[in-house]
Structure 1
Amino acid sequence: MRVDEVGGLRLARFGDGPRVVIAVHGITASLMAWAAVGRRLPDGWSLVAMDLRGRGHSAGLPGPYGLPRHAEDVLRVADHVGADSGAVLAGHSMGAYVAALAAARREFARVVLVDGGLPLPLPAGTDPDAALAATLGPGLARLSRTFATPEDYVAFFRSHPAFVNAWNDDVEAYVRYDLTGPPGALRSRAAGEAVREDGRWLLTEAEEIGAALTSITAPVSLLRAPRGLLDQETGMLPDELAAAWTARLPLLEDEVVADCNHYTILFDERCASLVAARLTG
């Protein structure tokens, strides 16, 4: 992994091939969400992941946030690394929505949406902040907590329903990368303000997301996890939602990645290998 920076955005490159994947992480995540996939790319490829503003080592970048702002940052990163129209653009979770917005503005060879990217309309009268808290659960709760030691933070993540039976070295590296603060008062690098602002945008701008999807001219692959953010049996993108959008978008190819949840689709060895193959195949 080689680290770089552009305009205050932290970047990491996995691999050294000339063919490039630009990869965008989720709402409370970091560039390390893509490390397991990046290491599994075939020869001739490299994966460039960034810490979105308000997360990881880009946490100090100011708002406003919102997914269109992140899409601008993604295109800035693409310019910085010399990614041309032959590059692949990928996003996981919220990052898939950011990727859709970016791909609506610029040509990529292919767009890969990993368990995200399809509009999730908010029912009338629902409070976006309450919906976000219910969806993310412990992923959001940790942003308001401090931890005495790195081991306490790791233990908190080990109890997360998505990871309790799926812990590995990649998950631990991802968790430790997210940690900052003084001894005795360690915390997540993710800024709560950024997460809340982005969550509100994601849940209230379904029409803009749909418009972006319909304007993408490149082939689009959707990789879905059958289980959800809390390892529940219903995934983030149910079959009915995927079927509606594959019927609407002739360039959208839908695939369910067996036996994974919203997070392990990127961390499990088998699943990360499959995602890497779909990015480059």
Structure 2
Amino acid sequence: MTEPTAIDLPVQGGTLRVLRFGSGSRTAVAAHGISASGMAFRAVARQLPAEWSLYALDLRGRGGSSGTPGPYGIDWHAADLCRAAEELGDGGPVALTGHSMGAYIALRAAARRPELFDRLLLVDGGLPLPAPEGVDPDAILDLTLGPAIARLSRTYESDQAYVDFFRAHPALGPDWSPDIEAYVRYDLTGPQGARRSKAREDAVRQDGRDLLGSADAFAADLGRLAVPTLLLHSPLGLLGQEPAMLPAPLVEHWVGEVPGLHAEFVEGSNHYTILMGSHAKTVAERLVGVSFP
């Protein structure tokens, strides 16, 4: 697989960097997690058939779109995702996917503009997760996201020091690969001696607050779904251990509530390796329609 082609997509307030993987005429668009980038889909893109192209957005405040201004939030990202589908599609409905926070963005986009998409693949995200009442959202973010948040306020002496930080992550280190390393190195910016993540902490925190406070809105999105939808979910969470990001009872509840929503348990994966590790082939196969409901 060649490295992605970078495209600048005009959106309200600026431009978004979009990474195009592949050169086929069939189109998929993808949204990444809360502090990630479009490069998170590199492993999935390598598994796609030759007739497909995957357009992975760098969301506002991340990756090559780090300078694109807010407002941030699920509504804005979903509008950007719809814009990408309109501008980069092959003339018909496109496949839509999102991982983690990107799954919630993709859900919102599919619920509001179903005519743009012929399928929706949610990867370990997209189901309402009510936040505890009376708890500071930023405290919840610090507790749940841990290293993902911590790295945003730090600088690193070298690229290798940043790579080593990720290699020590319990959910990534044991499954380290060239795809994960390419994802990590793509995220770097700043001068030598003070390298840092491209992701803006203010964008991550604003989006995190929106996620935590929008359980009812996501439930409404699920209720409006008119696009065939498959959820892939992992047994292990953000730190490569239990609990899962999406507990089994939660998945069972929403599959029972929403016609057209199906779920598949991806055994042996965690919240990150389901997308960037050895399970990327499963994501790719489901995205293009193999075993898609």
TM-score range, shorter chain: over 0.9
Partner Cα separation in structure 1 for residue 94 and residue 162 of structure 2: 36
Say whether 1:20 aligns with 2:27. yes
Q: Which moved more, 1:42-51 or 1:30-39?
A: 42-51
Say whether 1:240 aligns with 2:249. yes
**Matched residue, 2:102:** 95
**Matched residue, 1:2:** 5
**Matched residue, 2:198:** 189
Aligned partners of 2:25 and 2:90 also within 8 Å: no
C-alpha deviation, 1:86, in angstroms: 2.7
Aligned residue identity for 1:6: L
**Matched residue, 1:73:** 80
Aligned residue identity for 1:34: F
Give a deviation string over 1:196-247, Cα, whole Å, max 9, x none: 0000000011111111111110111000011000011221001010011001
**Matched residue, 2:135:** 126
Q: Under a length normalisation based on structure 1, what TM-score does the superposition of the two structures give? A: 0.98
Say whether 1:280 aligns with 2:288. yes
Partner Cα separation in structure 1 for residue 55 and residue 26 of structure 2: 11
Say whether 1:217 aligns with 2:195. no
Partner Cα separation in structure 1 for residue 133 and residue 261 of structure 2: 28
C-alpha deviation, 1:84, in angstroms: 4.9
SS across alignment from 2:174: coil
Q: CA RMSD in A?
A: 1.0
Partner Cα separation in structure 1 for residue 78 and residue 266 of structure 2: 26
Partner Cα separation in structure 2 for residue 194 and residue 164 of structure 1: 26
C-alpha deviation, 1:132, in angstroms: 0.9
Structure 1 pair 257–84 and aligned structure 2 pair: CA distance change class (3 A): farther
Give ranges in structure 2 of 5+ residues lacking alignment.
none
Q: Map of 1:155-234 to 2, 5 A cutoff?
A: 155-234=164-243
Give a deviation string over 1:62-110, Cα, whole Å, max 9, x none: 1110110000111111122135553111000000000011001112111
Give ranges in structure 1 of 5+ residues lacking alignment.
none
Partner Cα separation in structure 1 for residue 208 and residue 243 of structure 2: 20
Partner Cα separation in structure 2 for residue 84 and residue 142 of structure 1: 40
Partner Cα separation in structure 2 for residue 265 and residue 84 of structure 1: 30
SS across alignment from 1:104: helix
Give a deviation string over 1:120-176, Cα, whole Å, max 9, x none: 101111211111111111011000100000000000000011112111100000000
Structure 1: 4+ residue segments shifted above 6 A = none
Aligned partners of 2:95 and 2:119 also within 8 Å: yes
Residue identity (%):
54
Q: Under a length normalisation based on structure 2, what TM-score does the superposition of the two structures give? A: 0.94
Aligned residue identity for 2:226: T
Structure 1 pair 84–111 and aligned structure 2 pair: CA distance change class (3 A): farther
Structure 1 pair 81–123 and aligned structure 2 pair: CA distance change class (3 A): same
